[in-house]
Structures are given as C-alpha cells and as structure tokens.
A and B are shown apart, each in its own frame.
Chain A
Amino acid sequence: MADLLQLLLAGASVGAVYALTALGFVAVYTVSQVVNLAQGEFAALAGLVAISAVGGGLPLPAVVVLAVGTVVIVAAVMQRLTIAPVKRMTTLLSIILTLGVSTTLKAAMLLIWGAEGRGLTPFGGHDLTVAGVSVQAQQLWILGVTAVVAVAVGWFYERTLAGKALRACAEQPTAARLVGISIARASLLSFVIAGLLGAVAGVLASPIYFSAWDSGLALGLKGFVAATLGGLTSVRGAIAGGLVLGVLESLVAGYVDSGLRDAVAFVVLIAVLVIRPGGVLRQRAAAGI
C-alpha cells in the first residue's frame, strides 16, 4: 500500500508540472489555434534564470519574480515578432514558426548556461514521512502551487472581463471583433499567460526535475500530450490530463517496466488521436474553456 501511495505521489508531482505546461498550450491554442512548441522552453528558461538568480544571492521571492518576469517578456516578444505579423495563421504554420523560436531559445540557453543540467535549491520546508510514504517538501510546493494556479486560471477565464474576452475570441472570433475585442491584444495576452504558466512550471520543477537547455523538449511533449487528452481547449481537461499522464507513467514504471516510462506519453497520444481525437475528457464539442 505504501508503495502504491509513493508511486501515486511521485506521479502526481510530475503530473502537476505536465498540467501547468498543458495549461500553457491550452491558453494559446484556444485564442489563436496556435500550437506553441516553445512552451517547454519557457519552463527550461525560467528554471535556468532562477538558478542563476539564486547563485547571484537573490532571495526566493525575488528569484521567482525575476524568472517569471523574464519568461513573460520573452513570450510577449515572441508573439510580437513571430505570431502577430502573420495575417492568416494556420496551425501548421504556427508549428513551424514556434519550432523555430524553440530552436533559437534552446541555442541561446546552451550558449548562456552551457550544456550541463542543474537544479534549483528547494523552496524550503521539511521532508516528512506519512504512513510509510516519504514526502518531499518540494513535492508539496509543486502540488500546492499548481492547485492555486489552476483555480486562479479557472477564475480568470470564467469571472473576469479579460478572461471572458479571451473565451469570446476562442469561440467566435468575428463576433468578438464586432463587439470591440482586439484579437491581436487577445493573442498577446494569451502568450503572456502561457509564459507565466510555463515559468511557474519551470521554477517549481527545477529543484527535483532539473533544468537544462534541452529539458524543455521532453516537458513540452508531455505537456502537449496532456493538453491533447483534454482536447487542447479545456482548462480542466489539461489539468486532469497532466495528472493522469504523470500517475500513469509512474505506475507503469513501478509495476511494468521502468524503461517504458517515456513510452507512456506517446502510446497515450496515439490512442487518443485514434479513438477520441476530440479529447478523452471533453464533453461538449464547442470550444468551452
């Protein structure tokens, strides 16, 4: 029993990071049908900036602000330079564009931080053991912050004017424009949100899962699979998708074969695309966020 719980905890902790990454995909895709392949790089960049900031002697809150701020700026600049100028955006075109950005970011990170992966100092708190399950303080941080962020994102989309405007753009772009919502501003805002979510994921994950110039690729793929589980347009679907994927990986590694861990995501992706292309956890066909 303790083994199962331990595996579930490890899975949920990884899954929370996937969920945040998946949310970033969803935030951008719903507004502009852009699949942002640089989403994983946002997390890697945030982790690396945070590590350098800690090395420079900044206190944790300042580190978080700096890392998140940097990535948000990068995301906004990326949107202005590569997404905004395109008149007729298609998903395929967006994949090519964001792949280019992702490669550029990776090369820049490799030049600045070098090839070796590093981990951020844990946020603090004591590791504890509950019912034979050892719990790392950082895992609690990951789960707690992800829960808060998930609630906040849900509240933003459902309760605030800006959030409602974004949903309007997602559901009826023409009608949204007719009532005076700027699609361009909405797209920029969606990238800022994606940058924020990616940065939070990167900073949270770094102490346990490490940051390196190339760590965004795997994370981005897993996050994309998690988002696909929820149909790419659902906040709740993305969170659930991330958690399910993380737990599934952990259980497969524990009870089947640890070598299959990284295969899980791809098997899931293929299964979803073949059986339910609209997303397993999606109930309605409309682009309901």
Chain B
Amino acid sequence: MVGTRGVGTVAAIAALLVAAGGCAEKSGTTGTGNNTGPIRIGAVLDITGAGASLGVPERMTLEMLTSQVNEAGGVNGRKIELITEDNRSTEDGAAKAMNVMLSRNVDIVIGASRTGPSLAMRPLAESNNVPMISLAANAKIVEGAKWTFKTAQNDSAVLQNIVDHAKSKGWKKVGLLRDSSGFGEGVAETLNELGKPSGISVVATEKFAPDATEFTAQLINLRNARADMNLIWGIPPAAALAQKAYQQLGITTPVMQSHGIGNQVFLETAGTAGDGLVAPLGRLVVADQLPDSDPQKQVLTKFLVDYDRTYRARPSTFAGHAYDAFQLAVEAFKAAGTDRQKVRDHLERVKGFVGVTGVFTMTPDNHSGLGKDALVMVTVNAGSWQILPGR
C-alpha cells in the first residue's frame, strides 16, 4: 500500500507540474551478487491509469507471495524485500520506475503489466544486465533479448488459437478492433501471417485508446466492413465497454476477444453483452472445470485458495502472470543465489515449470516459454467463464 500512496500522490503532482524527477529514492549499497541480506525483488506495475485492472491484482499477488515466502523462512534463509513502483500505465513512467529499481540495486525486476511500458523498460534491463520478467503479452518484449523474460502468453500463441477457431467455423474475413497502445501493435500483421495458409485475413482495422469509453465510430466502420467475425483486442474496462457497445449497436457478427480480458472486471463491466463471445484464455479462469488430470490443476487450485484466503476475491489471469514471474524468480534464487548472471542463466534453462499461466520451457531463443496449449478456448455464458464445448 505504501508504494501506491506515495507514488500515486507524488506522481500526480509531478505530472501536473511537469517536474521531471518524480520519485527520487536513493538507497542500496549492496552490490550485485551479494549473497547475504535480503533478496530485493523490484516490481514496476501499471497500478494507476489504463492498466490499473491488471496492475492492482498483480501487486496484491506479489505482496501475498512475498509474505508467504518470508513466513516460511525466506529463500535459503534470506528474506525477500519487495519494492513496488507505479508506472502510471505510461512508457516514460515505466522507464523512470526502472531507473529507481536500478538505483536501489534490485536483484530482479518484475513488470510491467502491459506491453508498452515493458518495452520501455527492456533496454534498461539489457544495458544494465539486470534480469527482468515482464507480465505483458507482445512477443517483441523478449525477441532477441538476453536479460528479459516474460510470463504472459505470446500474442502469436493467442492468435494461432483464434485462427484455428476461425478455421473450424469457416470464417475468412476478420474485422479487428484493437488497442492503439503497444499491446495492439502487430496484431493485424501476425494474424494475416498465421491465417495465410487457411485464407484468413484482416479486412478492416480500427483502433481505440487504452482508456477509451466511446466506441461508436470504430464499430460503425467495423460493421460496414462486413467481416465473417470481429476480433476485439484490448484489456478491461475498455475491452468490456467495446463489447457492450458492440451489442448495443446490434452487430450480430460473431465476436472473439483476446487473452487480455481474463478478469472479473471484464465480466462485471460487459454484463450480458459478453454472452457468447469466444476468447483464448489462461486456464485460471476455468480452473474448477478442468479435469483432475490437467497438469496445472494443482497449482491453479492452490493459487485460487491462497488468494481467496488473503483477499476474499478471485484472482485474474493477470495475477497469474505475476504469480509465475515471482515463482520463476524464487526458483532461480534458490538454485543460483543472487548473482545476476547466474539468475539469468537459470531462467533461460527453465524446463517444464508448472505455473498458473502455463507450463514454461525457456530456451535461449524463447524467453516466453509458452506455446498455444497454454490457452483454452473459453466462452462467456450468463456472466461466467466456460470452457468452449466441443474441442
């Protein structure tokens, strides 16, 4: 809590007065590879602004896991110190927060919640040789990266699922309504590329700002494109408001959404307008419907129970991204201490790590570690998630 209060207020004042510095926190004398004292995990999250519905549960998850680990005696006897910074859902905020983390000498950075801020942090992680685990989707975050990893499913894995679904339904023309920020970048291109063998292509692209609330103009243009299906690509609440507007305008074309909608905020905001949509989502939202044989079932159930006990709420898939990033980091610290190089090397060798988002297997060329099987096709029925029958 302390993190948000301070940063939120300071951030608001700083932004308004166009003061550059922001949150100048100086401390940290421990050098890299120091194997005593607490382990410092830095979290740069989208706690306020357009990504708040992602960043808030992510922070809650990290706080919960930190106290769990510390209560159990820490990692190899060392406590974990969690340092959280809000990037205000902006790229410059993320870069600033990343600099704060560097000045505090953290052992690893978790974040950001969304693609744009993550991309702004990546060069700083790479040039300062600090391991970073992003919680965002776009594959660009880890393309050719040495120090950067990520836990959210790649957008290409999501789009492959969408293409497969479209193929099974015989849909060829896709209308796209996408987030205009980093999360939506490259969606049309990737979709065209993956859809090519089956003759699936994007016939119209419309964009909306991540904090948009008015979608009439875009949806009218989409309606006039007369596609076989429309894909809404964004995060709640915007994605949910778009879904609502879609239904209010009486558009009957089948609609799909991305994995960006896996939280309760989406269901609450979209209400009945969400019924019937299809989206590839992480297994967390449908954990209770999975067979016991599912390799992730146990991890998912534990996370759901723990989160409910701590916060009396259901975690979102975004909370799951944070869960996995934290567990991957702790695994690496357990095995390799806090030498940054060794931590990085360990992360790159992760194999068959069962997380909430999927089963991770990293390689030097793949710092995402998840394939298209990390997602299940989910539909909304009477305001709740359901595994799409017949697959």
- A residues touching B (Cβ–Cβ < 8 Å)? 3, 6-7, 9-10, 14, 99, 102-103, 106-107, 110-111, 114-119, 127, 129, 134, 136, 208-210, 212-214, 250, 253-254, 258-259, 261-262
Contact = CB atoms under 8 A, between A and B. Distances in A.
A117 B16 CA distance: 20
Contacts of B47: 115
Interface in B55-98: 55-56
Given A110-B48, A116-B56, A210 B237 contact: yes
Given A3-B224, A10-B214, A258-B207, A115 B55 contact: yes
A210 B213 contact: yes
Given A99-B16, A107-B12, A254 B216 contact: yes
Nearest to B219: A6
Contacts of B180: 259
Contact of B221 (A118, A127, A212, A254): A254
Given A99-B16, A209-B214, A107 B207 contact: no
A111 B5 contact: yes
A115 B216 contact: no
B218 A258 contact: yes
A115 B217 contact: no
B305 interface: no
A14 B241 CA distance: 15
- Chain B interface size, as a band, is 35 or more
B250 interface: yes
B8 interface: yes
B237 A117 contact: yes
Contacts of A258: 206-208, 217-218, 221
Given A115-B52, A117-B237, 11 more contacts: A6-B216, A9-B216, A10-B217, A111-B8, A115-B49, A116-B237, A127-B248, A208-B214, A213-B48, A254-B216, A261-B209
Nearest to B53: A116
A3 B12 CA distance: 39
B252 interface: no
A115 B4 CA distance: 9
Contacts of B16: 99, 102-103
A107 B220 contact: no
B265 interface: yes
Say what secondary structure dominates the interface of chain A.
Answer: helix
A135 to B, nearest CB: 9
8 contacts: A3-B224, A7-B217, A102-B16, A115-B49, A116-B237, A119-B269, A258-B217, A262-B209
Contacts of A99: 16
Given A3-B224, A106-B12, A116-B53, A214 B213 contact: no
Nearest to A10: B216
Given A258-B207, A261-B217, A103 B12 contact: yes
B324 to A, nearest CB: 22
A280 to B, nearest CB: 24
Given A111-B5, A116-B56, A3 B49 contact: no
Contacts of A253: 214, 216-218
Contacts of B269: 119
Given A10-B217, A210-B237, A107 B52 contact: no
A114 B217 contact: no
Interface string B224-236: 1000000000000
A154 B58 CA distance: 50
Nearest to B249: A134
B13 interface: yes
A138 B53 CA distance: 25
Contact of B213 (A115, A116, A129, A209): A209
Contacts of A213: 48
A99 B216 CA distance: 33
A136 to B, nearest CB: 6
B273 to A, nearest CB: 11
B217 A116 contact: no
Contacts of B209: 259, 261-262
B127 interface: no
B45 to A, nearest CB: 10
A115 B48 contact: yes
B248 A136 contact: yes
